[in-house]
């Protein structure tokens, strides 16, 4: 019997496990399906990690290394090459079950008082966006190409078009260029990029790679290996405009068209989900609708910065410790954080009124100039958070004042207000 099982040994799981140990939890098991800890950070060999968390610029493996060393100083038990197949929540305070499969321990049913879900996310594929055309080799998700390049040491192609301007795609535009490939274009269906501004500058502009906004891939040619893609401009409804076709002769198409939290275990366990984040609904303590089951990192919502993943996951680890040490909250609190105009989602989605100030992550659903996010509760209290610019590609973090939280009755609504700044 464990006190805590952490599912996933990437940045979220590492931070949650370390923090729970620091808070005094002792029987902790961390389950990782890969052969090494660190998760996707292991293939992110570029720098830019850790500016918030460690106040210095690290590569992905360096950032992971810091947490792996921290974990090494704890007594957390780690099981690698172990796949969690199923979670069965315990009823009425009974322990939860985690079913796992591994070469060393076979099929096992583990019992635990608490669980932190930290399974991360996966990339959206060609199928998810129903990309038309033929299906030759040479079409990769950006992350798969990154793994081939940075872990296995193989280049996947030499003339490249990138669809989607998510951060991994942008990073790969630079990476493939540095390895001698020619990146012909980065194509984005939306009128704005989905990636961080710093990546647009450092990975595309610095290498003269054109970014085609409001464009998409409308045809793919090649029986065996990719030979050609057609790119068309799209209208306001994202419909291709006939006559705007551009043809690129290329052998590789990388897809950077979004990430999806990997929540099959979560759904199977009957945990309440948020259809906007594709993750669980959680309280400010990162607790899901099942008492004793917490979620953090990209399995909860997709982050831009690993630093925020760590911060959020440390909160989950601390909350799991508090839960185990006798402060269990029965279920999700009733105070809701609602999305008003311009807000795509918030995490957490629920708050306990008595918690004092509350840190909230959110994303907007359009690009703005100077604007404010207004938080208003149903007692008429408001708070305003100004920025020079909002964009869906940049996750925002605000702290709601204690008074706004304490006086709310049923809900607090976040909304985007333009032009009033």
Partner 1 sequence: MYDVILIGCGVVGAATAYQLARYDLKVAVLEAQNDVANGTTKANSAILHAGYDPEPGTRMAALNVEGNKMAKELCRKLDVPFRPVGSLLLALSEAQKTTLQTLYVRGLANGVPGLALLDREATLAMEPGLNPELTGALYAPTAAIVNPWEYALAMAETAVVNGVELHRRCPVTGIRPLPEGGFALQTPRGEWQTRFVVNAAGVNADKVHTLLEPVPWKITPNRGSYFLLDKAEGSRVGHVIFQCPGPNGKGVLVAPTVHGNLLVGPDAQPVEDRRDLGTPASALDFVRTQARRSVPGIDFSQNIRNFAGIRANSDQEDFIIQPSPAYPAFLDLAGIKSPGLTAAPAIGKRAVELLAEAGLVCRPKAQFIAERHVVRMDRLSPAEKNVQIARDPRYGRVICRCETVTEGEIVAALHSPIPALSINGVKRRCNAGMGRCQGGFCGPRVQEIIARELGIDQTAVPMDQDGSWVLAGETKTGREVTGDV
Binding segment toward partner 1, per CB under 8 A, in 46-54, 98-106, 185-193, 408-416: 98-106
Total residue length of the chain: 421
Q: Which residues contact 253 (CB under 8 A, 6 or more apart)?
A: 138, 139, 140, 160, 161, 162, 163, 217, 220, 226, 229
Q: Measuring CA to CA, which residue among 311, 280, 284 is closest to residue 14?
A: 311
Distance CA(376)–CA(290), nearest Å, equals 28
* Pairing of β 343-347 and β 358-364: antiparallel
Nearer to partner 1, 164 or 317 (CB): 164
State how far Cα 406 lies from the chain centre. Answer: 30
* Pairing of β 252-255 and β 139-141: parallel
> How many positions of this chain bind partner 1 (CB under 8 A)?
54
Q: Measuring CA to CA, which residue among 222, 230, 224, 165 is closest to residue 199?
A: 165
Cβ of residue 181: shortest distance to partner 1, in angstroms? 8
Nearer to partner 1, 164 or 333 (CB): 164
State which of residues 27, 46, 122, 411 lies at the interface with partner 1 (CB under 8 A): 122
Contact call for residue 72 and partner 1 (CB under 8 A): no
Q: What is the DSSP string of 331-364?
A: S--SEEEEE-TTEEEEESSEE-GGG-SEEEEEEE
Asked whether 139 and 126 are in contact (CB, 8 A), the reply is: yes
Nearer to partner 1, 62 or 219 (CB): 219
Nearer to partner 1, 101 or 406 (CB): 101
State which of residues 51, 83, 247, 421 lies at the interface with partner 1 (CB under 8 A): 83
Tokens of 217: 């891939």
Binding segment toward partner 1, per CB under 8 A, in 47-55, 70-78, 216-224, 361-369: 216-224
Cβ of residue 320: shortest distance to partner 1, in angstroms? 24
Contact call for residue 276 and partner 1 (CB under 8 A): no
State which of residues 57, 154, 241, 382 lies at the interface with partner 1 (CB under 8 A): 154
Site of tokens 């008074």: 403
Contact call for residue 258 and partner 1 (CB under 8 A): no
SS3 (DSSP) at 283: coil
Cβ of residue 19: shortest distance to partner 1, in angstroms? 26
Contact call for residue 245 and partner 1 (CB under 8 A): no
Contact call for residue 419 and partner 1 (CB under 8 A): no
Contact call for residue 134 and partner 1 (CB under 8 A): yes
Site of tokens 């989607």: 164
State which of residues 23, 62, 219, 272 lies at the interface with partner 1 (CB under 8 A): 219
Catalog residues that contact partner 1 under the rule CB under 8 A: 33, 81, 83, 85, 99, 101-107, 109, 122-123, 125-128, 130-138, 141, 143-144, 147-149, 151-158, 179, 181, 218-221, 223-225, 240, 251, 267
């Amino acid at each position: 019997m464990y006190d805590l099982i952490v599912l996933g040994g990437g940045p979220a799981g590492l931070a949650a496990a370390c923090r729970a140990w620091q808070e005094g939890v002792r029987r902790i098991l961390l389950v990782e399906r890969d052969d090494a800890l660190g998760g996707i950070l292991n293939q992110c060999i570029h720098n830019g990690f850790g500016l918030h968390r460690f106040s210095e610029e690290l590569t992905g493996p360096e950032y992971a290394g810091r947490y792996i060393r921290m974990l090494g100083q704890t007594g957390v038990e780690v099981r690698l090459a172990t796949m969690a197949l199923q979670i069965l929540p315990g009823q009425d305070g009974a322990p939860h079950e985690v079913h796992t499969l591994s070469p060393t321990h076979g099929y096992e049913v583990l019992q635990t008082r608490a669980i932190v879900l930290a399974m991360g996310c996966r990339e959206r594929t060609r199928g998810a966006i129903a990309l038309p055309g033929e299906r030759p080799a040479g079409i990769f998700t950006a992350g798969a190409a990154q793994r081939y390049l940075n872990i296995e040491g193989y280049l996947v192609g030499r003339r490249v078009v990138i669809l989607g301007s998510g951060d991994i795609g942008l990073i790969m535009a630079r990476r493939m260029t540095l390895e001698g490939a020619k990146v012909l274009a980065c194509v984005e269906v939306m009128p704005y990029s989905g990636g961080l501004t710093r990546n647009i500058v450092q990975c595309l502009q610095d290498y003269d790679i054109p970014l085609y906004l409001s464009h998409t891939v409308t045809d793919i040619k090649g029986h065996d290996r990719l030979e050609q893609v057609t790119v068309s401009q799209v209208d306001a409804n994202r419909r291709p405009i006939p006559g705007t076709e551009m043809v690129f002769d290329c052998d590789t198409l990388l897809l950077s068209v979004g990430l999806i939290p990997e929540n099959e275990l979560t759904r199977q366990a009957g945990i309440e989900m948020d259809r906007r984040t594709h993750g669980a609904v959680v309280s400010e303590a990162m607790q899901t609708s099942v008492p004793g089951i917490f979620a953090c990192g990209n399995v909860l919502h997709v982050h831009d910065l690993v630093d925020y993943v760590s911060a959020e996951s440390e909160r989950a680890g601390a909350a799991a410790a508090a839960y185990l040490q006798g402060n269990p909250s029965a279920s999700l609190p009733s105070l809701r954080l609602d999305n008003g105009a311009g807000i795509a989602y918030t995490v957490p989605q629920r708050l306990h009124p008595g918690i004092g100030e509350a840190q909230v992550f959110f994303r907007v659903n359009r690009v703005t100039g100077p604007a404010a996010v207004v938080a208003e509760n149903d007692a008429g209290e408001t708070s305003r958070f100004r920025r020079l610019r909002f964009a869906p590609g940049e996750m925002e973090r605000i702290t709601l004042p204690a008074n706004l939280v304490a006086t709310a009755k049923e809900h607090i609504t976040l909304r985007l207000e333009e032009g009033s700044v």
